[in-house]
C-alpha cells in the first residue's frame, strides 16, 4: 500500500489515498494554517468510526438485523506532552431499527473491537479504548 501527501503551502497538505481519493488537511491560523481542512489527528478518529462502523454494519447485515439508522459519537483525550497521542477514546454506538436484537448488537460491536477493526487495534497501543451502545 502506498499513499502520497503533497504540501500546498503554509500548513495545508493534500493526501491521495491508495484508492485515489484526495483529503485536504490544514491547521488553524494560530498554527500557520488557513483552517481549510481537518487536522490529521481528527482524521484518526474519523478512520476509527469508519473502520468499526463498517465492521458492525457488515456483521449485523449477515445477522439479518434491520438497522434503519446508525451513528457513532467518538470522544477522545490526548496526552498533554508531545507527541500528544490519544490516551483515552470512547465510542458510543447508537442504533435505530425494527426489532433490533440487543445480543446481536453487542456481539457485532465486540467482534469489531476485539477481532476486526485494525484502527482500534492500533489505537489500543497508546489509548484506553472503551465503548457503549444504545438502541433507540
For helices 40-62 and 102-111, what crossing angle results, to 10°?
130
- So what CATH class is 40-135? alpha beta
Rounded distance between C-alpha atoms, residue 106 and residue 104, angstroms: 5
State the pLDDT at residue 35.
Answer: 97
CB 17 within 8 A of CB 2: no
State the pLDDT at residue 117.
Answer: 98
User: What is the residue-level pLDDT of the chain in tens, covering all 136 positions?
Assistant: 999 999 999 999 999 999 999 999 999 999 999 999 999 999 999 999 999 999 999 999 999 999 999 999 999 999 999 999 999 999 999 999 999 999 999 999 999 999 999 999 999 999 999 999 999 9
State the pLDDT at residue 87.
Answer: 98
Residue-range domain boundaries for the chain: 1-38, 40-135
Q: Is 47 helix (H, G, I), strand (E, B) or coil?
A: helix
Q: Which residue has the cell 484518526?
A: 44
Amino acid at each position: 500500500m502506498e499513499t502520497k501527501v503533497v504540501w500546498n503551502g503554509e500548513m495545508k497538505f493534500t493526501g491521495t489515498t491508495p484508492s485515489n481519493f484526495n483529503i485536504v488537511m490544514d491547521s488553524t491560523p494560530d498554527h500557520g494554517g488557513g483552517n481549510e481542512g481537518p487536522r490529521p489527528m481528527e482524521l484518526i478518529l474519523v478512520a476509527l468510526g469508519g473502520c468499526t462502523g463498517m465492521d458492525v454494519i457488515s456483521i449485523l447485515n449477515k445477522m439479518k438485523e434491520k438497522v434503519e439508522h446508525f451513528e457513532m459519537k467518538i470522544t477522545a483525550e490526548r496526552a498533554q506532552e508531545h507527541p500528544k497521542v490519544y490516551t483515552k477514546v470512547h465510542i458510543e454506538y447508537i442504533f435505530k431499527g425494527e426489532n433490533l436484537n440487543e445480543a446481536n448488537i453487542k456481539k457485532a460491536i465486540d467482534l469489531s473491537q476485539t477481532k476486526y477493526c485494525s484502527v482500534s487495534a492500533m489505537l489500543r497501543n497508546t489509548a484506553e479504548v472503551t465503548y457503549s451502545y444504545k438502541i433507540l
